[in-house]
C-alpha cells in the first residue's frame, strides 16, 4: 500500500527566504506526482504535476523535482512571500485512472 510522507509537518520562515518542502513515497511505481496548495477551509489548487518520466517542473517561483527511484520529491519555493502561507500537499497516482494518495501536508507560514 502506497504511503506518502511529508516533512516537515510545519514550517515558519521570514519573508524572502528560499525554502524546500519534502515528500517521500514508499512505492516508486508511480504514474505521476502532484503538488497542491490548500488554504484553510478551502479546496485544493494544483501547483505542479510531474510525470514519472520527468525530473522536474517549474512554475514561477516554484520548482518541483522528482527522484522516482528513491521515492522522493521536493518543492522549492524561491523568495517566499506572506501570500505563500498555506498547507502544501504532495500526492501520487499509480495510473491515469486511479485516485491520488495524499501526504498529510506541510503547513507553511511566511512571516512579513
Partner 1 sequence: GAVVSQHPSWVICKSGTSVKIECRSLDFQATTMFWYRQFPKQSLMLMATSNEGSKATYEQGVEKDKFLINHASLTLSTLTVTSAHPEDSSFYICSAREQGAMEKLFFGSGTQLSVL
**Min separation Cβ 58 and partner 1, Å:** 17
* Number of chain positions touching partner 1 (CB under 8 A): 25
Decide if residue 85 touches partner 1 (CB under 8 A). Answer: no
**Min separation Cβ 86 and partner 1, Å:** 14
Helix (H) or strand (E) segment spanning residue 78 = none
Identity of the residue, 18 or 51, whose beta carbon is nearer to partner 1 in the bound complex: 51
d(CA 40, CA 13): 18
- How far CA 99 is from CA of 18, 21, 25, 78, 91, in Å, comes to 31, 23, 15, 30, 9
The single residue among 41, 69, 83, 112 that binds partner 1, judged by CB under 8 A, is 41
**CB distance 81 to 15 below 8 Å:** yes
d(CA 64, CA 102): 16
The single residue among 89, 92, 108, 110 that binds partner 1, judged by CB under 8 A, is 89
Q: Which three cell numbers stand for residue 33?
A: 506526482
**Min separation Cβ 80 and partner 1, Å:** 22
Return residues touching partner 1 (CB under 8 A): 4, 32, 34, 36, 41-46, 49, 51, 89, 91, 95-97, 99-105, 107
Amino acid at each position: 500500500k502506497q504511503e506518502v510522507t511529508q516533512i516537515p509537518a510545519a514550517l515558519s520562515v521570514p519573508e524572502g527566504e528560499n525554502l524546500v518542502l519534502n515528500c517521500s513515497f514508499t512505492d516508486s511505481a508511480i504514474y505521476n506526482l502532484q503538488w497542491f496548495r490548500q488554504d484553510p477551509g478551502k479546496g485544493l489548487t494544483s501547483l505542479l504535476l510531474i510525470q514519472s518520466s520527468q525530473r522536474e517542473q517549474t512554475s514561477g517561483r516554484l520548482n518541483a523535482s522528482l527522484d522516482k527511484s528513491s521515492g522522493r520529491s521536493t518543492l522549492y519555493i524561491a523568495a517566499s512571500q506572506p501570500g505563500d502561507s498555506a498547507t502544501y500537499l504532495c500526492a501520487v497516482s499509480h495510473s491515469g485512472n486511479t485516485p491520488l494518495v495524499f501526504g498529510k501536508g506541510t503547513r507553511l507560514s511566511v512571516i512579513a
